[in-house]
Amino acid sequence: MWYNDSMVYVDVYIEYNALQLNQTFTYRCQYPVSCGCRVKVPFSSRTLIGYVQSIHSSCDLESVKDVLEVLDTKPILNKELMNLADWMSTYYVSSKMSCLKTMVPPALKPSHKYAKIVTLDWLETTGLAPKTKRQEAFLAANTFPILASELRKQSVSMTRSLLEQKVLKIVKKEKDVAMPFSYASKTMPTLTQEQAQAIQTIQSSQDSIFLLHGVTGSGKTEVFLRLAQDVLQQGKQVLFLVPEIGLTPMMIERVTSRFQERIAIYHSQLNAQEKYNQYCLVRDHKVNIVVGTRSSVFMPFSDLGLILMDEEHDTSYKQDNKPQYHTRDIVLKRSQTHHCKVIFASATPSLDSYAHAIKKKYHLVELKQRVATSMPQISLIDMKSEQTNFGLSQSLISAMQACFTRKEQVILLLNRRGYLPVMRCMDCNATLTCPDCGLALAYHKKDHQLVCHCCGRVFPYQEECPNCHGHNFYQSSMGTEKLEEGLKSLFPQQKIIRMDADTTRKKNAHQKLLKEFEESGDLLLGTQMVAKGLDFSRVNLVGILNADAAFTRMDFSSNEIGYDLLEQASGRSGRFQSGQVLIQTFDPDQFLLQCVVHHSYSQFFRREMQFRHLGFYPPYAYLCTIIYMNKDLQTVMQVAQEAKEFLGDMKVLGPVLISMRQAKQRVRLVVKSKSKAELNQRIWALAKHHQALHTKVYQDINMYPMTLED
């Protein structure tokens, strides 16, 4: 360790779970240190690790302890990222430590057990002459630096004596992990007129935030690639964000086959060492392109020229644990610092972004036509008048059969989103809804009651439909696994591939399954995973089962998510020839289903915004959910009730009892406000108040949730 001539004082954020809010501790440091480095410090009777927030030359505290060790020679987080952490902490009402931990790859998190950076011993010559002719010959036969393990293979004793004589020295280097992706370059297609126009608009505009609203198959990715090319030529960096790991292989393939540059890839299935390596590639300016999911928005870019956020409406862009950030917010923040353009793209933009575009806060750019063909023909199958087999209607089965005969492929979506035990009327398709919230009531089997998951009101179970007075309420249920079995017996000759949470757990599983389907599969069956982003040329039929669950209003955002899902799933069909989509429903007249059939995003938008307006939901209101958790129900209810009182005149729904987690009772409040600033201020006050109470009740604040579902 090198010593400093002068002593400095550092303010450190310590990783210590009891510290829930923002506070630094000051230490004296006699080693070279910069802001953003990790240090080991004594804290009460323990040794802990923290991040240096600021450095100063004097300190008026009486007694300060010494930093024991500086762990990093280069800062892990640069100034921009340290500032970003400050902003995130304030904006999301989260501790600074939770933000810092979210931003860095796991290997750089403070706690010891994660520090898994693998280093290798390399040997270098020191300039000292060897003593014997044999040693000289041994040295001459090798090129240095060399991996110590390689040299030892030739002679352990010779290597040891050269090290003892200080002719060679050991240098530790981090292990570099090569990512196994390389693709042949493909020729660039000629742009369609719409694509060329979109690119021209974006490049020549003074605006910096764009919403690219392009129907499925309109060639948004090609627009990205051209814009990126321009930025790369200026020597700047480009970030391609995709919502889910499942979509990374395709984006990586497209990006690598276009740009023969090294790209960094960052997503949840990389191990700690791989993540760390990718992080360093960006930090050390060795790559200009990053393709990745949510967390790649925190890469240590130095000169970002463009951010592309594909499928911007996707809910996986919001992290669901502390600090519950939304990637879109972070993108906007970083683009301000780097003065770069941002493209949010989707065939089904979030209501929020589209509302911004209408208000001209984002520059709206549209692609209304598909590149190669027209939009697929969507038909609704009325399940009330169909014979079914394993939940599949005869119409769908025949259409599938016809596809297989033509050697075409089929995708089947089994929608499980919004699949909660809702009582639905078989005759008129009505669901029971809460008169206060307008949301469907969930059936709680245990106590045979109906509960509103938004405000918590409880209603007695009823057997009669209030709409048609029939007695045919039902609960449907089916899983992908069961469906797969059924399909195998219906289509024994066909190769069926199932993609859901169970079959994609292993590393690179998505990639393997998709490749298998592309090369030799007939039928791809799965959950929402199969609905997004996939671009296969032989898929001309998409079948959607259980479509009605998509439009069951369990939550303020249910219909938005449902619409996205159906529109995106339909978008997988007939991308290169005329395609077909069959949707099974008990309610073909449903307005939102009709919007899907007619590919009418704007009608959907208008209808849904009306509901949001009437119900005072986003984007008309800002929401915050607060969940209290404890073993004891009475305690947790009481704390929640007191919190509600603390919030005084604010609009607060609840407390409502929601599902248990880790054998603990959970109770939720929903806070609504017209003013973002006021909401933030009041929730901060509540957070501090709660901390001061020192109760054992855990409080989890989620600012601006996209859903209330738990």
- Residues forming contacts to ligand ADP in the complex (CB under 6 A) are 189-192, 195, 214, 216-222, 371-372, 535, 575
Instruction: List Cβ neighbours of 61 (8 Å cut-off, separation of 6 or more).
Output: 26
What's the residue count for the chain?
Answer: 710
Q: Closest CB to Zn ion among 496 and 640?
A: 640
Q: Which residues pair with 653 in a beta bridge?
A: 670
590 binds, among Zn ion, ligand ADP, none (CB under 5 to 8 A by kind): none
CB of 343 to ligand ADP, least distance (A): 12
DSSP letters for 97-135 = HHHHHHHS-GGGSSSGGG----EEEEEEE-SPPPSSHHH
In the shown chain, the binding pattern of residues 569 to 598 toward Zn ion, with x for contact by CB under 5 A and - for none, equals ------------------------------
Q: Rounded to an integer, what distance in angstroms lies between the CA atom of residue 424 and that of residue 465?
A: 9
Q: How far is CA 274 from CA 270, 278, 408, in A?
A: 6, 6, 38
CA dihedral 462, 463, 465, 468 (to 10 degrees): -150
Helix (H, G, I), strand (E, B) or coil at 412: strand
Q: Which residues pair with 308 in a beta bridge?
A: 240, 343
535 binds, among Zn ion, ligand ADP, none (CB under 5 to 8 A by kind): ligand ADP
Q: Closest CB to ligand ADP among 218 and 630?
A: 218
Q: Rounded to an integer, what distance in angstroms lies between the CA atom of residue 39 and that of residue 49?
A: 6
Q: How far is CA 620 from CA 125, 344, 613, 704, in A?
A: 68, 21, 6, 12
192 binds, among ligand ADP, Zn ion, none (CB under 5 to 8 A by kind): ligand ADP
689 binds, among Zn ion, ligand ADP, none (CB under 5 to 8 A by kind): none
CB of 334 to ligand ADP, least distance (A): 23
Q: Closest CB to Zn ion among 303 and 436?
A: 436
Q: Rounded to an integer, what distance in angstroms lies between the CA atom of residue 581 and that of residue 330?
A: 36
CB of 184 to ligand ADP, least distance (A): 15
Q: Closest CB to ligand ADP among 21 and 191?
A: 191
278 binds, among ligand ADP, Zn ion, none (CB under 5 to 8 A by kind): none
195 binds, among ligand ADP, Zn ion, none (CB under 5 to 8 A by kind): ligand ADP
Q: Closest CB to Zn ion among 457 and 689?
A: 457
Where do the H-state alpha helices sit in 408-496? Answer: 480-490
CB of 423 to ligand ADP, least distance (A): 37
CB of 272 to Zn ion, least distance (A): 44
The separation between CA 551 and the C-alpha centre of its own chain, rounded to angstroms, equals 23
Interface residue with Zn ion, options 365, 434, 561, 643 (CB under 5 A): 434
Q: Is 437 in the site for Zn ion (CB under 5 A)?
A: yes
52 binds, among ligand ADP, Zn ion, none (CB under 5 to 8 A by kind): none
Q: Closest CB to Zn ion among 399 and 439?
A: 439
Q: Please choose, from the candidates 190, 142, 203, the residue with its C-alpha nearest in 3D space to the C-alpha of residue 167.
A: 142
371 binds, among ligand ADP, Zn ion, none (CB under 5 to 8 A by kind): ligand ADP
Q: Closest CB to ligand ADP among 43 and 354?
A: 354
Q: Closest CB to ligand ADP among 220 and 283?
A: 220
214 binds, among ligand ADP, Zn ion, none (CB under 5 to 8 A by kind): ligand ADP
CB of 557 to Zn ion, least distance (A): 15
Q: Rounded to an integer, what distance in angstroms lies between the CA atom of residue 63 and that of residue 120?
A: 41
Instruction: List Cβ neighbours of 672 (8 Å cut-off, separation of 6 or more).
Output: 616, 617, 621, 622, 623, 650, 651, 652, 653
Q: Closest CB to ligand ADP among 417 and 575?
A: 575
Interface residue with Zn ion, options 264, 452, 497, 667 (CB under 5 A): 452
Question: Are the CB atoms for 329 and 303 separated by under 8 Å?
Answer: no
437 binds, among ligand ADP, Zn ion, none (CB under 5 to 8 A by kind): Zn ion
Count Cβ atoms below 10 Å from residue 52 Cβ, excluding itself. Answer: 28
Integer Rg of the chain from CA: 29
Q: Closest CB to ligand ADP among 220 and 333?
A: 220
Q: Please choose, from the candidates 530, 527, 542, 525, the residue with its C-alpha nearest in 3D space to the C-alpha of residue 579.
A: 542
436 binds, among ligand ADP, Zn ion, none (CB under 5 to 8 A by kind): Zn ion
Q: Closest CB to ligand ADP among 221 and 409?
A: 221
Q: Is 436 in the site for Zn ion (CB under 5 A)?
A: yes
Interface residue with Zn ion, options 455, 609, 633, 637 (CB under 5 A): 455
CB of 217 to ligand ADP, least distance (A): 5
Q: Is the dihedral of CA 201, 206, 208, 209 positive or negative?
A: negative
Binding site for Zn ion (CB under 5 A): 434, 436-437, 452, 454-455, 457
